[in-house]
Structure 1
Amino acid sequence: MRRNISIILLAVGHACVDIYQGAVAALVPFFVAERGYGYAAVSGVVLAASLLSSVTQPLFGVLTDRRAVPWLLPTSTALGGLGVALCGTAPSYGLTLLFVAVSGIGVAAYHPESARVARLVSRGSHRAMAWFSTGGNVGFALAPFTVAAVVSDGGLRRTPLLVLPALVGGALCLPMLRRRGRGPVTAARGTPPALVDDAASFRRLTVAVMCRSIVFVGLSTFIALYAQQRTGGDTAAGTTALFVLYLGGAVGSVLGGALAERWNRVTVCRWSYAVAAGAVAGVLLAPGPLLYLFVAVTSISLYVPFSLQVTLGQDYLPSRIGTASGITLGLTVSVGGLLSPAIGRLADITSLRTALAPLVLMPVLSWLLFHTLREPAVDRQVSDTAGQLPAGT
């Protein structure tokens, strides 16, 4: 029961933090309408948040490998909310970028430590880790609605109200701090067990996760416009497609944890990427409203491996759990973000459908890479202990 409560608190806290990952993109229309930002300017705002967050997460992962830093959870949550809260009131473009970057750093600092803590309190349960990941997916999906509810009527001057999820998330982190010295969250003392890293498998896993990132970020960037074109609808048609894409992520994460309790993670990921390849093709070819069905299947199949890849990375690098978490949760995301402008450029030259067509290959590549991986033979007790052995304690 105590483990379940801890995972629930971490999952809800994860949702509160990941609201800020989606909030910056959700604020873009308001920056355009109120400040007259052009495409280049708003791209800079989004890039300042997503790229900085993704690149710095591995650095925080290295930090959490060296010592347990549970205080990072409430501190990073506060930074994530504060940056977004202030960006709408910034008097200049430069300060807007600075505040958005602060939010990105907060999000980056949160994930490696929270993933380490979730792994420890879950005691190796794939289902529990899936619920932790689902919390973040739900928060990301709620971001557009949260921003709209706050900013639609009063404009950007009301963005300080967006700090409220951070206050909630920070409060939910406090029980983790109170357990310091009593539970598995804190650093264990003594001699660490022998841990063997499988760096080659981790590198192949990283490339597979990057391929997943490219297809998901590419779709999330353009699916709203594509749905409007394919269905002949208005902006509501595009918003619906985006919501289905995000909602499917929450479903897929829970399903992934359940499947991994019955079959091994590598096998589940292989199946999922095979389904994803067909589903992405369906998104491109399906006529009319049938598009939404394939969007849902695509999202679910891309998110079934999400939490499983995080724990696989941790098991391939048992002596560097924080680093593995930072890379699988953060660095790989930047690849999808960096390639999105190239998709847009190709769409300008040809058509959006043609530009999205190469995305079908990405889950195929992930499927092929997972055929080179094997389920790690991990002593769960030893692996869990690895996350408790920071240097200097």
Structure 2
Amino acid sequence: MTPSPSTLSLADRITHSLVGAAVGDALGGPVEGYSPDQIVERHGGRVHGIVGPWNGDRWRTARPIAPYHKGDGHVTDDTLMTHALIRVYAAVGDHLDAYAIADHLVPDLLTTPRWIPELEAEALPLQRIFLAEKWLVARLHYGHVDPREAGNGNIVNCGAAMYMAPVGLVNAANPTAAYAEALDIAGAHQSSYGREAAGVFAAAVAAACAPGATLASVVDTALSLAKDGTRAAIEAVAEVASGHRDFESALTPLRTAVAPFDTVGPDYRTPSLGARRPSRLHAIEELPIALGMLLVGEGDYRRSVLAAVNYGRDCDSIATMAGALAGALGSPPPPDWSKQVAEASRLDLHAPARTLTEVTQEIFARDTSRRRAHERAFTALTDPR
């Protein structure tokens, strides 16, 4: 019998969220960058599960994806970065900041070969991550830039937001703390609305972990913390999503709702001249749409993630976020999907969850000790005697 979301343990929520994020990533990977109509044409209808590469057996050479084997249950850089961040938490054993990214994440990407599912080989993670993530290595390792400011100048996209679920889980049920920690961490990677999205996504995951959390409480939390264009985009998408319970009818209206805030433009593979530049008026597309699809799917993992996948565009990251949120709320990915992704990717998807659960409990114990020490000090300061 599946536990009620209100009785799920911390370990359950962390596991559902992290495994859910990885499975969503793997489902979205093979159709990333395409439109809903192109997806229908390629697959003879909507995607309802794990599918093969867009170009079939020609994935090694077919542009624009080559040489990555996207599909067949392979996770992408979203999951690789998420797992890398969990390793940083394990190494530090405490809350993270931008300096932890410089001191631990960058060396991990640069020096330690790992199995890369899309390359079907062991390689440095640096050889797989996207240009916006390679920025971390260029700026922090080679440029010796102050980690708190290193994100300035990078292209503004979802690169930091896509792997911030662990920050929300470490700060489970404390979205304000998750928001602040993610903003600090993301300062090494992103600026402007890319950094803002990282904070808001982490806060949404933390809110989803709270006992009794609902779709409304998660979205309300995101809106209460989000600033500028990010807040406006979430508000616009959530308003439209509230009128749909079937992703088929929601695909076009949600894209229309987010379009005024998205700098990439209508052709995802040919971004506009104003794409990915800092702005207080704009937002990444992925986070508002992930929240919108979560609403459309009523928090159910399968419905929410398939809605994200069939949206196309940057749907591996959208499905990663939707999967993390649905999982944290208590809706796990289907076991057959999880098994297939783990086997195809040759990754233990549960091991990072066990690690993060243990670290989260250690951090909470430290937080409690620090809080009580502060209480004692403050009491002494205010004692009238």
**TM-score, L = length of structure 1:** 0.32
Q: Name the structure with the higher helix share.
A: 1
**TM-score, L = length of structure 2:** 0.32
